Amino acid sequence: MSIQHDPAIRGFASDNYSGVHPEVLAAIAEANGGHQIAYGEDAYTERLQEVFRSHFGEGIEAFPVFNGTGANVTALQSMLPRWGAVIAASSAHINVDEGGAPERIGGFKILAVPTDDGKLTPELVDREAWGWGDEHRAQPLVVSITQSTELGTLYTVDEIRALADHAHERGMRLHLDGARISNAAAALDLPLRAFTRDAGVDVLSFGGTKNGAMLGEAIVVLDPEASTGLTYSRKFNMQLSSKMRFVSAQLIALLDGDLWLRNAKHANAMARRLRGSIEAGIADGSISGVTFTQPTQSNGVFAALPDGIADSLRESFRFYDWDAARGEVRWMCGFDTEESDVDAFVAELARLTTA
């Protein structure tokens, strides 16, 4: 097969646009050959349990799945009865970016709370944490947070602990959507366990695709009492891979060592370079009319552009509008973003805004 794209082209639309990290690709090849038992009874998935325990401690269980939506839906479904509801930020991926899958496939209600920075607080949770015992209301039984958030912001350990304590005191559980959990750990300079299990998170969705994998995430059950039926629901939610060894091999390649952290640190550093270069341009007058709408704490930069600039800039670099009504855009960096990519992007932004 001939190459159908230009490998030199990189944009800032999503960390999903990147290819597969060479070490992950090599791991897939090394897992090939011969026969292994299907549906997760293979040596690689068994080894993956040990790798996840090295990060999160004994007594946890990891369930590899295909993708982030599947991880979130299946995890939350396992935490809820049919009458249960999930409290989440209105910007949460489960609320706005999963095509209604949580409610259509998962069968649970999402109680969305508006936030300025993508983060919930105990006070914000209480806007929807009520009505227990009322047969007319879906019962709020899980709080779901994202780390790092859809707006690129981060929860501190203390903030997650406060949410966990608040949820548990009210008979609710805490789920963490960790599509970019590695970026959060790198930015916080903390081990994965510090802001998950040790902070009171019950179940999390662990992301690999945005951090160098071809495909593959995992549901990690940190408290076995918080989740039931995953053995069965993973199958009927179409998230059970027959050749699971190839999903598990990717996650092993990322996590059995420091590849996950190296990739995330690099992506975060490129986002800092992007923001810092634009700030320098604003200061010296070479960039005009650009403002930042969120702090840059992980691998995403959120900014507002003057009218017409976004479409002109997209002729050279692909990226997405976040809130078109106010000219807000999102620029994402990945493990394969290079300094030259950032510099070329900033140079074109400078040209367009001062033309």
Residue-wise pLDDT tens digits, 16-28:
999 999 999 999 9
Residue-wise pLDDT tens digits, 266-307:
999 999 999 999 999 999 999 999 999 999 999 999 999 999
Both tokens of 303, joined, read: 């900014």
Distance from C-alpha of 355 to C-alpha of 353, rounded to nearest angstrom = 6
**pTM given for the model:** 0.97
Query: Percentage of the chain surpassing pLDDT 70?
Result: 100
Q: Which residue ranges make up each domain of the chain?
A: 22-257, 260-354
User: In CATH terms, is domain 260-354 a member of 3.40.50.1970?
Assistant: no
Q: Where are the alpha helices (DSSP H) in the chain?
A: 22-30, 43-56, 68-78, 93-96, 101, 122-125, 157-169, 181-188, 230-236, 245-255, 259-284, 309-313, 339-354
Both tokens of 273, joined, read: 């370079």
221 in the Ramachandran plot: left (φ > 0), alpha (ψ -120 to 50) or beta? beta
Residue-wise pLDDT tens digits, 31-62:
999 999 999 999 999 999 999 999 999 999 99
Q: Report helix, strand or coil for 296.
A: coil
Distances, alpha carbon 28 to alpha carbons 11, 14, 300, 355, in Å: 26, 23, 29, 48
Residue-wise pLDDT tens digits, 119-156:
999 999 999 999 999 999 999 999 999 999 999 999 99
Residue-wise pLDDT tens digits, 68-100:
999 999 999 999 999 999 999 999 999 999 999
Confidence of residue 355 (pLDDT cuts 50, 70, 90): confident
The per-residue pLDDT for 8 is 87
Tell me, which fold does domain 22-257 have in CATH? Aspartate Aminotransferase; domain 2 (3.40.640)
Q: Can you name the residues that pair with 146 across neighbouring β-strands?
A: 177
Run of H or E residues at 221: strand 217-221
The per-residue pLDDT for 111 is 98
Phi, psi of 44 (to 5 degrees): -75, -40
Phi, psi of 16 (to 5 degrees): -75, -15
Q: Is the pLDDT of residue 1 over 90?
A: no
Residue-wise pLDDT tens digits, 213-269:
999 999 999 999 999 999 999 999 999 999 999 999 999 999 999 999 999 999 999
Confidence of residue 310 (pLDDT cuts 50, 70, 90): very high
